[in-house]
Structure 1
Amino acid sequence: MRTVGIVVEYNPFHNGHYYHVQQSRKITGADAVVAVMSGHFLQRGEPALLDKWTRAEMALRGGCDLVLELPAAYSTQSAEWFARGAVATLDATGVVDALCFGSESGDIRSFRAAAQLLREEPASFKQALNDRLAEGVPYPAAYEYALSAHAAEQGIPPLAVAQPNNSLGLHYTLAIERIGSAINPYTIRREKSGYNDQTPSDESIASATAIRKLLLEAGDLDAARPFVPQTTLTLMKRDRDMGRIAADWRLFEKQLLHSIMTRSIEELGEIHEMTEGLEHRLLHTVRQLSEVRFESLLEQLKTKRYTRTKLQRALLAVLLNHKKSDFASNKLAEGPGYIRVLGFTPTGQALLKKMRTSSRWPVLMSAAGALDQLPYLALDIRATAVYALGRGANASSRDLLRDYYEQPIRIGMDATAAAE
């Protein structure tokens, strides 16, 4: 069974995602699609609109066959480690032949060439990158400059890596190179709506960012109807009625403030992403604000060097108690060490049966009984508890513990098949 892997967040699953799933099947000739999906918190340092099980169900109803969780240790990271964790997970299954991602470029040759160039991070590239960072240039722009300069020296076509999908695509391809995976990369040109577009640019396709903005402004889930499959809309309404929609950072402001104010400056300095004295700036800023609102805090913290995304990831690391000691590069390079299943179809179940012998890592249906052997799993469990608390009075103690008892979502299976 030929299988293509995709790396996703589905915040929420929309028509553009459906197109990606279908095109990934088509251009790779795949019989099955495996999605590695972020859990409750995302790569740009944001909470997901819906919990990971609901989003897994959206993915399965939208054409995916098997949904695996990208652990919080990787899903909340910069593009390099986000991609490394996702590719390592797909590779560890032993069943994935190809990886297909969307990009602004649409030309896989430029990604392959750039990845081969950067595999060992040449000294000239590092020097050019550090020089631009020292000038106060934001990291994405500095990275693109350094890559372009080095590529020009080698006669390699330029790749606009400051564009978000190109950046992730390069890091997926680079991760394949660095871990020595046999997975073949493919790319689809991202059409119509851009990754960060704030407003819909097409009658049927809008970015997840634009859809979330539309939902917040309209206050009505039906505002998303033109841009999402009916199954997505139905699931969003179900979770709204259950009080399970976590709209944005505002629901976590009190938790964040508590996390900041109950730590000493030394303890804040031990948090991942707290670099160059950011912990001092953070504590000083919080003490100066009469009322802590996430947006106002970001505005006060922003400098030319720190992008909004970098700051969001730093604040999320505080909220989730992600410590530098857990995020050493040598630890992250080893990969998550486990495969967490969030949902599957009958085709996905067939893949899981193959993975009993092909997978290099343990395959988990829940977190029960596995915590002691898998330290990164503890971060996933903590993320679920923090996410549930964002619902305030709607959260039960059972919601905080869902990782221990929630079983994978099963779609298109009768009771006998589901029990196998």
Structure 2
Amino acid sequence: MPAQPDGETPPADGSLPPQVAGGAADRSLSLYVHVPYCRTRCGYCDFNTYTVTELGPGASRSDYRATVAAELDLSLGVMGRAQLEPRAVSTIFFGGGTPTMLDAQELAGVLGDIRERFELDSAAEVTTEANPDTLSPAYVRALADAGFTRVSLGMQSAVPHVLRTLDRTHEAERIPEVVQWIKDAGLDVSLDLIYGTPGESLTDWHTSVEAALACRPDHISAYSLIVEPGTRMGVQVRRGELPMPDEDDLADKYELAEALLASAGFGWYEVSNWAIDEKHRCEHNLAYWRNADWWGYGPGAHSHIGGVRFWNAKHPRAWSDRLRAGRSPAVGREVLDDTTREIERLLLGARIHRGLLLDSLPESSAGLIREFQDSGLLDPAEADAGFWTPTLQGRLLADHMVRRLTDFVI
């Protein structure tokens, strides 16, 4: 697992500096709930997750809901002391780990605990991630009854040998059935795919995208595999047992995904995300990319409130021990200065369709904008309308474009 970021030690009660209240009325509020439990650890995963054997002594899943409730209460106190006016919550996202490792009643109960403490927007988006082999029709109906609106399903691939390399435990043939359960319950469904797995051919990737489209989801995410050094897959690559993903291969697969998804009526709205229409974009992820306010609950969860980032103790036992002692679970924070906030605005906004207004960019970057248009990285028609919108080639070079853009801020 990656180390926590460097940062200052926050106050024991979690108090935030007074500047977080400035402009809060113009920022939306989202909530993230981290459920750190998994049945098995996938070889490529470096998220803050734990199997039963990894939890160790003194860490129990049985008090998870009660501990989240304690953190919910603490967050309300912190926001109140910071004079943050109450805002209706726009989105809630349960991630992990595997949130659906919890009983449906427990997961629904956590959402109920949130509803008791926060006002939700009338059109609030409420998503949970799920693995296909943790769901049943009854489980999905319980989610719908509790007020969930959306399920993000970890499909990853439709090719058995690719799933084996990723250490995924579900069978590819199960995906259409599970998607239908979700639809029958009246919930939106997103399918998450990974491309670039060692041994995955372009034909394999084509098969996976077509299989996802055949399920008629509302949303598809496609992420390139990143081999993290501390993972089992990272060790296998270092030993030469698996090949490192090839950049040209990743580009070919991204271009194939765009062609197949576009022909099926899906439009990209962020570099790795496509939706069947604007109504089915993931509003929670857009809140991140637009630098809105969000509070993260659970072990290792990160938060961002008014230009202050803070993060919780990673291990479930350390997280729960702090809350039981009446202390904030936050173990680090960073108060962003104006320059850093501007860089982050550009870093995040540049990845979104129409995520930046050109007249909001530094005047000194006008020549760079023209260069990007002339080289086919920015859509000229969109630029004429005043928007930063990368072309397909621009999306492939998004990191390069952003690095050059932020040079005008530093």
TM-score band w.r.t. shorter chain: under 0.3
- Larger fraction in strand: 2
Question: Which structure carries more relative contact order (alpha carbon 8 Å, separation 6+)?
Answer: 1
- Larger fraction in helix: 1
Tell me the TM-score normalised to structure 1 length: 0.27
Tell me the TM-score normalised to structure 2 length: 0.27
